[in-house]
C-alpha cells in the first residue's frame, strides 16, 4: 500500500533528489509545480520503493499517477501504482512517460493499458544562448518586436523579490480581467496557482523577472532549477496590447538570470493552437516526448 500524503515544503529535498535521476527533466516532476498546483488540484505524493510517485484526482474524479522516477525500484513502484489504481475500482491513468517508460509499462502489464503518444504534453527545450542572442534570419521577427518595444517604451527589468511580488500579482489579476478568452475558468485556476507560487516564492527556490513601463509592471515570468543544466519556466505573463512585451521579458529573464543554464524548458503547449505556434516560433532544439496510458 502506498502512503500518499499532501506535499509540504519539507518534501522538497527528497523529491528533488528523485528527479535528479531523470535524463531529461520534465515539468510534471518539478517540486514547484507539484506544490503550487495543489491550489486547484488534489495532488498527493509518496516515496515508494525509493521513487517519487504522485497521484492526482481531477475534478471529474479521474485519477492519474505520474510514472515513478528515482534511483530506487522503478518496476516495484510501478506495480504498487497499478495495484493502488485497481483498488479504486475506476478507470485510471499514468502520465509523464517517455518511450522507454511506456515500453516498460506495456511489457510488465500486457493488455492492461491503452498507451498513446501525447504531442500536447511534450516539453519544449531551448538553448539559453538562442533565447538570449536570437541570432539568424529565423529570429528576425522576435528582434523586430523587441526593437519596437525598446524604441517606443521606457522600460526597466528587475529580478522578482518579496518587495515587488504584490505588483506581479496585481498585474496577473489585470491580465485576467483584460483576457478575451470565453472560458476563463482555466485562467482563474492558473491565477490561483501563481498566487500560491508567489506566497512561497523564496522557499520554493524560484527565480523570476519583471518588466516595468513608466513604473508599472507590464510583464513577469518565473520558474525553478531542475538540474544544473536545465531551468524550467513555469509562468509567463505580459500585456498583449504592449507590442514586444512577451519576447522582451523572455530574452531579459534568460539573459539576466539564466545564462548559466544550457537548456531552458518552457513546458508543454496543452494542445492550444496559439500557444503551440508561439513556442515553435522560438525554435526548440528538441521536444521531450510524452506518453500516457489509460487502463482498459
DSSP-based three-state secondary structure for 195? helix
**Rounded CA gap, 265 and 222, in Å?**
12
Alpha helices in the chain (DSSP H): 12-19, 31-36, 74-88, 99-108, 128-133, 140-152, 165-178, 185-199, 245-257, 273-280
Residues with Cβ within 8 Å of residue 104, at least 6 apart in sequence: 74, 75, 78
Q: What is the pLDDT of residues 12-34, one digit of tens each?
A: 999 999 999 999 999 999 999 99
Q: Which of 6, 50, 7, 49 is nearest to 30 (CA)?
A: 7
pLDDT single digits (tens) 122-137: 999 999 999 999 999 9
Q: Between the CA of residue 247 and those of 12, 53, 75, 161, 285, what are the distances in Å?
A: 31, 36, 43, 22, 18
pLDDT for position 218:
98
- Integer Cα distance of 293 and 92 in angstroms: 8
- pLDDT confidence tier of residue 182, bands split at 50, 70 and 90: confident
**Contacts (Cβ under 8 Å, ≥6 apart) of 177:** none
- Is the per-residue pLDDT at 180 higher than 90? no
- The band of 48, judged by pLDDT with boundaries at 50, 70 and 90, is very high
Structural domains in the chain plus CATH codes: 9-122 (3.40.630.30), 123-267 (3.40.630.30)
Q: How much of the chain, in percent, has pLDDT values that exceed 70?
A: 100
pLDDT score of 181:
81
**Residue 106, pLDDT above cutoff 90:** yes
Q: Cα separation of 293 and 296, whole Å?
A: 9
Is 183's pLDDT higher than 90?
Answer: no
Q: What angle do CA 132, 226, 28 make, to 5 degrees?
A: 110
Looking at residue 59, its pLDDT comes to 83
Compute the chain's Rg from CA coordinates: 20
Looking up cell 536570437 gives 134
Three-class SS of residue 222? strand
Q: Give pLDDT tens digits for 57-85.
A: 998 889 999 999 999 999 999 999 999 99
- Measured N-to-C along each axis, helices 245-257 and 140-152 cross at an angle, to the nearest 10 degrees, of 100
pLDDT one-digit tens code per residue, 189-246: 999 999 999 999 999 999 999 999 999 999 999 999 999 999 999 999 999 999 999 9
β-strand partners of 113: 295
pLDDT band at 177 (very low <50, low <70, confident <90, very high): very high
Q: What is the pTM of this model?
A: 0.96
Mean pLDDT across the chain, nearest whole number? 96
The model's confidence at residue 293, banded by pLDDT at 50, 70 and 90, is very high
Decide: residue 105, CB within 10 A, 0-12 exposed, 13-18 middle, 19+ buried. Answer: buried
Amino acid at each position: 500500500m502506498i502512503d500518499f500524503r499532501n506535499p509540504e515544503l519539507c518534501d522538497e529535498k527528497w523529491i528533488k533528489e528523485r528527479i535528479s535521476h531523470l535524463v531529461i527533466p520534465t515539468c510534471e516532476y518539478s517540486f514547484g509545480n507539484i506544490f503550487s498546483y495543489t491550489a486547484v488540484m488534489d495532488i498527493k505524493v509518496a516515496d515508494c520503493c525509493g521513487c517519487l510517485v504522485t497521484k492526482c484526482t481531477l475534478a471529474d474524479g479521474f485519477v492519474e499517477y505520474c510514472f515513478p522516477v528515482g534511483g530506487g525500484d522503478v518496476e516495484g513502484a510501478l506495480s504498487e501504482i497499478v495495484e493502488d489504481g485497481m483498488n479504486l475500482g475506476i478507470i485510471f491513468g499514468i502520465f509523464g512517460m517517455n518511450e522507454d517508460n511506456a515500453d516498460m509499462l506495456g511489457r510488465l502489464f500486457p493488455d492492461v493499458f491503452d498507451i498513446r503518444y501525447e504531442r500536447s504534453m511534450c516539453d519544449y527545450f531551448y538553448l539559453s544562448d538562442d533565447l538570449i542572442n536570437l541570432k539568424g534570419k529565423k529570429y528576425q521577427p522576435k528582434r523586430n518586436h523587441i526593437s519596437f518595444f525598446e524604441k517606443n517604451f521606457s522600460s526597466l527589468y528587475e529580478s522578482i523579490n518579496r518587495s515587488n511580488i504584490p505588483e506581479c500579482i496585481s498585474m496577473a489579476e489585470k491580465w485576467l480581467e483584460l483576457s478575451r478568452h470565453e472560458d476563463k475558468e482555466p485562467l482563474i485556476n492558473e491565477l490561483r496557482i501563481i498566487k500560491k507560487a508567489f506566497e512561497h516564492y523564496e522557499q520554493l527556490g524560484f527565480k523570476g523577472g519583471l518588466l516595468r513601463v513608466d513604473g508599472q509592471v507590464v510583464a513577469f515570468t518565473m520558474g525553478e532549477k531542475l538540474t544544473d543544466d536545465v531551468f524550467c519556466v513555469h509562468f509567463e505573463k505580459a500585456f498583449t496590447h504592449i507590442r514586444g512585451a512577451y519576447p522582451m521579458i523572455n530574452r531579459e529573464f534568460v539573459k539576466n538570470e539564466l545564462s548559466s543554464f544550457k537548456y531552458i524548458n518552457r513546458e508543454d503547449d496543452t494542445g492550444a493552437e496559439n500557444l503551440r505556434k508561439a513556442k515553435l516560433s522560438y525554435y526548440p532544439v528538441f521536444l521531450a516526448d510524452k506518453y500516457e496510458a489509460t487502463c482498459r
